[in-house]
Structure 1
Amino acid sequence: MILILMGVCGCGKSSVGQALAKDLECSFVDADDLHPETNKDKMSRGVPLTDDDRLPWLRAVNREMNRLHTPGSSVVVACSALKASYRHILVSNLDQDDSHTRSHSGVQQDSETISVSSDICFVHLDGSFELIASRMSTRHDHFMPTSLLQSQFAALERPTHPERFITVDVSPGVDETVRSIRSQLRALAHAQAVL
């Protein structure tokens, strides 16, 4: 299974993702590491990325998580994946869908539905603006400044059906958040098994 931990900057994707991957004894991918330097430079200057900036990054994340994923194994991916169109790219087979991933504005939101594969589940790490802003204010080793948080919340499109997802409150600490993720994933698997 591929678990994509999504949400705005500062919601805990990297710290929760690393803890979850350790708990599951599986590979971890931090999408921030795959940003080209031009993207990191823009964000460090407080300039929001455009869809054209994000497209090659999202494709790189897709390729890396699929490179690491093998049948019967798990991969945990930390990636903001704020819009449905971005999540579509993450779950696409790029070799087959190259013609469906671009539009004149960069990232296409087309009529195709997002994958509901049982091999991929989005984990939306959810928290209030105030909570996440307070956490971001204590970070000093990240290229994303707190000033961009408002644009992240404005861009966020919460996952909906037919996407396969769970939503987890990030108010508790990392360990409790990981326990909540695992509990919700068990419930989701049970619900699908009885359908």
Structure 2
Amino acid sequence: MYRDILIRGEDSVPPKCGESKEGKLAKVQLLVVHLSGSFKVISERLCKRQGHFMPPELLQSQFDTLEPPTAPENFIQVSVDKKLSEVITTVMETLKMK
């Protein structure tokens, strides 16, 4: 739902129940960068954070509700197992190609 709002751009009001989203064109092309990783890896990183707003106990619910992007969404998937510099390089290279 949140990606749909971003894709629509300025017309970011969610459609009413039963209302079609067709005909609403995006003003910008959104590239979704989906950072993927195992529950174990992300959980370990979350537990190392201090003073973070998200408690580790909520992580499972985030995994349960996550809807990974799919076609026709414009997205790339990058593993969080990569080094930060590799993630940045992948995203930047993708943006250059668009």
1:138 aligned to 2:48? yes
1:162 aligned to 2:78? no
SS at match of 2:49: coil
Distance 1:97 1:89, change over 3 A: closer
Shift of 1:119: 3.0
Distance 1:185 1:144, change over 3 A: same
| Pick aligned residue for 2:29 from 97, 105, 119 | 119
Q: What TM-score, normalized to structure 2?
A: 0.79
Shift of 1:116: 6.8
- Per mean C-alpha deviation after superposition, the further-off stretch among 155-164 and 111-120 is 111-120
Structure 1 residues not aligned, in runs of 5+: 1-84, 190-195
Shift of 1:157: 0.5
Counterpart of 1:87 in structure 2 is 3
Shift of 1:163: 1.1
Deviation sequence 1:15-48 (CA, Å, 0-9, x none): xxxxxxxxxxxxxxxxxxxxxxxxxxxxxxxxxx
CA distance in 2, matches of 1:164, 1:186: 14
SS at match of 2:48: coil
Shift of 1:170: 1.1
CA distance in 2, matches of 1:88, 1:119: 12
Shift of 1:133: 0.3
- Per mean C-alpha deviation after superposition, the further-off stretch among 162-171 and 178-187 is 178-187
Deviation sequence 1:72-104 (CA, Å, 0-9, x none): xxxxxxxxxxxxx1111122244x453xx154x
Letter in 2 for 1:112: K
CA distance in 2, matches of 1:134, 1:97: 35
Counterpart of 1:178 in structure 2 is 88
Q: Which has the higher helix share?
A: 1
Runs in 1 of length 4+ with deviation above 4 angstroms?
Answer: 108-111, 113-118
Shift of 1:174: 1.2
The higher-RCO structure (CA 8 Å, 6+ apart) is 1
Distance 1:109 1:167, change over 3 A: farther
Letter in 2 for 1:127: G
